[in-house]
Structure 1
Amino acid sequence: MTIPVTIDKVDVTLGPNHVLKQVCLDVKAGEFVTLLGASGSGKSTLLNVIAGLQKVDTGHVLFNGENVEKRAPQDRNVGVVFQSYALFPHMTIGDNVSFPLLAAKRPVKERKAVAAEMLELVQLGGMADRMPASLSGGQRQRVALARAIASNPGVLLLDEPMAALDKQLREHMQVEIKRIQERVGITTIAVTHDQTEAFTMSDRVAIMHQGCFVQIDAPQELYRKPVNEYVAKFLGEANLFGTADGVLLGQPGTQGSQGTAVIRPEDLQPLHDGETARVSIEATVSLVSFQGERYRVEARAADGTTVISTMPSNSDMSRLAVGSLMEFGCRQPERMHVIVPQDSSAVVVEEPVAA
């Protein structure tokens, strides 16, 4: 049975460190939510709290509205995939997958049937008799996932499950995990420090910083409408320009809220000769680098502001030699976002007025 999870004002102190500070989170039944943050932000501690591996100082953890703080980990109906996968090396793949059913004293016939079904789900059918040592990293991860959901838990927890995989395999497994999660329909909470991983798999992403949630939102909203500069910088590169007294990006008369304008590099492009944009900035190119699927251009404005632009790899780069003075513009002003510092809220500037 898929269940909702509620974290209500949870505090955790470990030694002198206040690791979680009045943390609140509601995860809907069947939703995939990822806790994203730098090392030490508190995300793994919160996952341990949900799993029952870490006690809280104050606050509550509720599954389907029922308080579970006093339940032992094995009594919480939670499946966990650890970073190390934690497979039993002396057991076959089938026995690893069916181990939760063995611990629950389920009949042998049922255990074998469930193991076969789970292995088919993770596309490892027919491999029940193999040993963990004979599998690749991606296959071992699939086995760990199959074992975690074999007992039909109400909640699935993923603790940096792809940290040990290489880039190509990690990207493939992100899609696979999301496919399996949607097929099973299980409520899933994951932990990662990788933005792409969080965005690929999640319905919502909860960004943690110093033991608190900074912003919880859908991936697109987080990327396009960060609530503060920390979120803007954490989620990839961003151009951050100050605004004051109705002046935005150095354009007199431009209308916009006071604060910080956020423009992602792909939305700030070199303008062609004679082309104008409602939002623009002049800068001297200081670095051009080819990154496979794109070019990255770094430039410096007269006031020292760094300007970053990215373009598809098939772009004409002949005008963008180092030392060239270029006008960079945002052709779609609605893609610019202004962070208002007074209340940490953010406003989209939809129609800046040209000078």
Structure 2
Amino acid sequence: MMNPFRRHKSDSKVVPRIPTSDKFRMPPEEYPHEGTWLQWPHNFGWDPDHVQRYEATWIAMTQALHTGEKVHIIVYNDAEQERVQHILSQPPNSMDMTQIDFYTFHTDDVWVRDNGPIFVFDTNSEDEEELCITNWIFNAWGGKADDYYDNYVPLKVGHALELPVMDVPMVLEGGSIEVDGRGTLMAKRSSILNANRNKGWTQQDAERFFSHYLGVTNFIWLDGKKGGSDITDDHIDGTARFANGDTIVTFYKEDFVAPKEYKILQNAKDAQGQPYKMVHLPCTKHKLKRVGDYGIYTNFYVANKVVLVPAFDDPNDKVAMDKLARLYPTRQAVGIPCTEVYRDGGLVHCITQQQPAKQRK
């Protein structure tokens, strides 16, 4: 049976034309949220132990988030909804279930940052910016995994929320871009300008799409690294993040595999030509036993009242949380256990997606 939501994916090297009408703006992560979207782990996909390995992380995220904003949880089926509702509502969790709602959509995996809706504002309305969804093509990081269901999550969310959905004829994962909210986008060529995503596209082609659909005019590009053990071909949210519109959060110089990328960040200018402040986060002090590498903290998530910080039961967990607490003094830094998620290549930013609050101009 054909998937009714399946969208044609062309291998053509011809870059699609961008419509001349309407332009959009993606707000930064710190912008007030209506809520956060999660795709709850289930055992119906490639890993029959996903729930056992992952669920403590999702419970911790929901607990931390739900006092400051809505938590929108995508579950695989009705039985999973009933099971997750029970876990969250009963002791020892006992969460306020009026802050949590559920959407029953089949999913392949949990990486809602990459396959989920990217919310933007339509800037053409006269008195109020209209919230809408940009539906970029998700092809499972260049065809490396299943995308039968995940590619259609933005469309299903749009239908459920009765929001306009803009189909964008470009392959993109949400974790491969970072915006400062002041006109600048940061990204890596290795994932976006990769033949397994946008074959034949130039950097200028991608920038045209970003300018139209995300409202950016200034770009910071790092080369990144294709292939290897990273299924994403090196997303920007594992290396550098924007904070408060004027700051880049990244590793220390000595932790960069490619030192020239650090130099690019160090010399980067915003859309007004001003340099960014730099905040450096450590890696874990020790290699993670079940991962075989050091943990990173740059993949944090900024919500209304909290900053979710990857935690690995390592001495540097506190160092990273203290730094992020100083960077976001009105929010509480909360450590989220991430070792199991990190084994599969992601952290808290990869498994969350913000929905901006609708505000008048």
> With structure 1 as the length reference, what TM-score do the two structures score?
0.25
Larger Rg: 1
Say which structure, 1 or 2, has more relative contact order (CA 8 Å, 6+ apart).
Answer: 2
> With structure 2 as the length reference, what TM-score do the two structures score?
0.25
